[in-house]
Structure 1
Amino acid sequence: MADSTPLLLSRSESSNESKQPPPSLDETIEHCIGEFGVAQLFQAILVSFAWVFDAQQTFISVFTDAAPTWHCISDSCTSASDICHLPQNSWAWDNPNDTSIISEWGLQCASSIIRGLPASSFFMGCLIGGLMLATLADSMLGRKNLLFLSCLVMSFSGSFTIFSNNIWTYSALKFVNGFGRATIGTCALVLSTELVGKRWRSQDEAVSILKSIATAGSSGILMSFSNLEFGKESWNVDTYSAIKILLKKKWACRRLLTVMAVVFGIGLVYYGMPLGLANLSFNLYLSVTFNALSELPASLVTFFLVDKLNRKDSLLVFTTLSGVCSILSVVTGERSANLRPLSDYKISPV
């Protein structure tokens, strides 16, 4: 009996080891390349540089499309005059060296549609480029190749704008620039996080989301996903197969439309505020600096609380707060514009 005890224990231990589930995909990646090392840090930093050029091309129109200030150089001109109704020799730009498309091509009297055409062309290129290039990262080119192609298109089109001799050529190049820029954000995000340990990535809550959308009879959704083997798909897909699948599922289509509406509203505020800084009676460079610095605390809050906040509730709270602040800023701006300075009032002696 004493000799058979170790044999029984070894059999029970081997049976327990055989019942252990195989390692998950994240655990396999961490076992091969480590949780977070110098190589992962270097790749994350290198890939993140694409966002720098992305932001540069997105917000460069704040300076290039701004209307410069001017001053009178003759007695027939006053600061309250309409520049379009003044002779050309009666006024001049305050800083001739600080040129923009307004002063370079004489667009000070053009319609707002013409002056806003470059920025509109850029974002139209982003829209079309997002629709046409979004799925190439998973089907034909891969994320690295698509990121390289996007940066290449954006760099060449941005460099060629210096040779533009009119607003039409400039707007066409801005369209190409936006088209190439469309997928930089998504490709850079995935490439900077896919080779680091799961502790450094936000939880995707995939199982809980699948449980919430599963029907009552879908008991298979309660299974553990750690035992699944990931293999290469053998079925063929085209570029727009994901859109076709979404359109067939009504719940997926409704959720997609809801998310698109929310993102559209967020984009209006996120891009509308910095692109409208030139309309403020404040130093443009300081305005852009303060606007950029305001993203730092927002990014820190997102980094530390992304795994602790409910996505739906936090999205509702933050978007509501942002909308209220946006409306208050418009109301405050209108009240400030209607206030007359004290110098306009004549004070008679008593």
Structure 2
Amino acid sequence: SSLVSNDTISCDKWTFDESVFKNTFVTEAELVCDDLPLKSHANSIYMAGLLVGSIFYGVFSDWKGRKPAIMVALLVQCASAIGTAFVSDWWTFVVLRFLTATGNMGLFMCPFVLSMELVGRAWRTFAGVAIQLFWGLGMFVLTALAYIVRDWVDLQLATSVYATILLSLYWLIPESPRWLLTQGRTQEAKEVLEKVAKANGKTLPPNVVEMMGKTEKQKDESPKSDGLLTICSYPVLAFRAVVIFVNWFVVVMVYYGLTLNVGSLGGNIYLNFFLSGAVETLANIVTIYALPRMGRKKFHCFSMLLGGVANVSFLIPVLVGGDDITWVGVVLSNIGKFGATGGFSTIYVFTAELFPTNLRNSVVGTSSMVARVGGIISPYIADLGTLVGGRFGTSLPYVVFGLSGLVAGLLALLLPETLNQKLPETIQDAVHFGNSKRPDGDSQPTTKPQAASESTEMSINDVMFNNDGNGHVNQSFVSEKF
């Protein structure tokens, strides 16, 4: 008989390495070879869920209130996340993950807005960035759970079922008094503020609720905002908008891309993910300290350029090779993550303070949508190393992230600083924002005359906190992490 057989033997199943994970959805659904891109598609669809969630819960929370929106988001997130653990086909998996993403966005965005509306103006930047510290804490907890529970089904349940505990906290969450006032529910707003004042050992100033109600009514009766296309009529504003859109796109793409690419780094994946969470927590702490001192522009550009240089430098350990310098790639990747997190935490503030009152929400909202596009394509860039292969393939995602960060950071240098500047209220204010002189020859003031509404704001500051609330921080929106 012949020693060589030309018979073809069919492959019954794949055998996977279980030294790191016992079982994952990729191995269970056998997303290999021709089906490998389905992994990137699944992550991209999840990112699309964040986009849909930001739109839906933004509208829903304005319609029904912050508290009901939080509850709906929690129910959607819990139901879809738990359901994900019991599916094995790709289509059902991605649909449930899409729904989970919408709920996750609502669970971040609605409490974030609520926290902004519960604190005084001087503390909004601190509250907005500090709330993101718990994202890093979640990464620490997830690392520990994943190390102990190495089957994806058990891990999915472990990270989903506990969220049902939050349902019991519904009764402890106050509704936003500002939202209540916009709905004419003055008595309910007063009850919330009285509870806050009592908890802080303060007394609610007389007539403050009525004053706030009049202020909110005046806002509702004010002329409608100009359309976003108005910017196109002013080259300076159009240029700034393009630069801002580019920075939003890049910072979200890089942030999520680096997070998804942790598994491609050498060394222990659990340690690498833990370090990624630690670096993110550190970046948020630094942001809280740096923004009111270093300025929005300087810190944002510093973060983007630092991250860009670190990511491009990832080429060095990859091309040189050797297991003994794997740690260099891990260090550079985490420096890149530090920069992306710092830029992420700053871009909301920077954007909100650059544009006039009647365009501010439109620009921030449009910027956030552009950012989601960056998030949607980030899984494909993160997986370039798998598709290209070889040493250069391993470094290719980092080179793309690094060059993008450098371009965005350099463009941001062309924007004016907004720290301690009066927020632009009109189109003309925005056009001349950053100039040392106004068109009428007056110097640009760094403080704003105190109006009746601001006097009310100071009274609320006194109720909310056991301090004088006089920190000079411009009113702004702050970053969402999703």
Q: In which range does the TM-score fall when normalised by the shorter chain?
A: 0.5 to 0.7
State the 1:291 CA deviation.
Answer: 0.6
Number of residue equivalences = 228
Alignment partner, residue 293 of structure 2? 308
Aligned AA (1:170): F
SS across alignment from 1:274? helix
C-alpha distance 253-178 of structure 1, shift in aligned 2 (>3 A): farther
In the superposition, the TM-score normalised over structure 1's length comes to 0.56
SS across alignment from 1:202? helix
Q: In the alignment, which of 289, 292, 298 is matched to residue 283 of structure 2? A: 298
CA contact (8 A) 2:84 2:96 kept: yes
CA contact (8 A) 1:125 1:179 kept: yes
Q: In the alignment, which of 34, 37, 45 is matched to residue 121 of structure 1? A: 45
CA contact (8 A) 1:143 1:191 kept: yes
Q: In the alignment, which of 239, 249, 267 is matched to residue 282 of structure 1? A: 267
CA contact (8 A) 1:129 1:182 kept: yes
Please show how residues 210-289 of structure 1 align to structure 2 within 5 Å.
Answer: 230-232=215-217, 233-235=219-221, 245-250=227-232, 255-289=240-274
Aligned AA (1:112): L
Alignment partner, residue 108 of structure 1? 32
Residue 151 (str. 1) matches residue 65 (str. 2): no
For 1:260 and 1:277, the matched residues in 2 are separated by 26
SS across alignment from 1:282? coil
Alignment partner, residue 119 of structure 2? 196
Unmatched 5+ stretches in structure 2:
1-8, 127-210, 325-482
- Whose radius of gyration is greater, 1 or 2? 1
Alignment partner, residue 206 of structure 2? none
C-alpha distance 92-174 of structure 1, shift in aligned 2 (>3 A): closer
Q: In the alignment, which of 184, 201, 217 is matched to residue 107 of structure 2? A: 184
CA contact (8 A) 1:247 1:253 kept: no
Alignment partner, residue 98 of structure 1? 22
CA contact (8 A) 1:246 1:253 kept: no
Alignment partner, residue 321 of structure 2? 336
Unmatched 5+ stretches in structure 1:
1-84, 204-226, 340-350
For 1:287 and 1:315, the matched residues in 2 are separated by 25
CA contact (8 A) 1:160 1:173 kept: yes
Alignment partner, residue 323 of structure 1? 308
Aligned AA (1:114): L
Aligned AA (1:230): T
State the 1:321 CA deviation.
Answer: 1.1
State the 1:278 CA deviation.
Answer: 1.4
In the superposition, the TM-score normalised over structure 2's length comes to 0.42
C-alpha distance 135-307 of structure 1, shift in aligned 2 (>3 A): farther
For 2:100 and 2:273, the matched residues in 1 are separated by 22
C-alpha distance 165-109 of structure 1, shift in aligned 2 (>3 A): same
CA contact (8 A) 1:154 1:176 kept: yes
Percent identity of equivalent pairs? 24
For 2:292 and 2:268, the matched residues in 1 are separated by 38
State the 1:254 CA deviation.
Answer: 5.3
For 1:194 and 1:255, the matched residues in 2 are separated by 28
Q: Which has the higher contact order (CA 8 A, sep 6+)?
A: 2
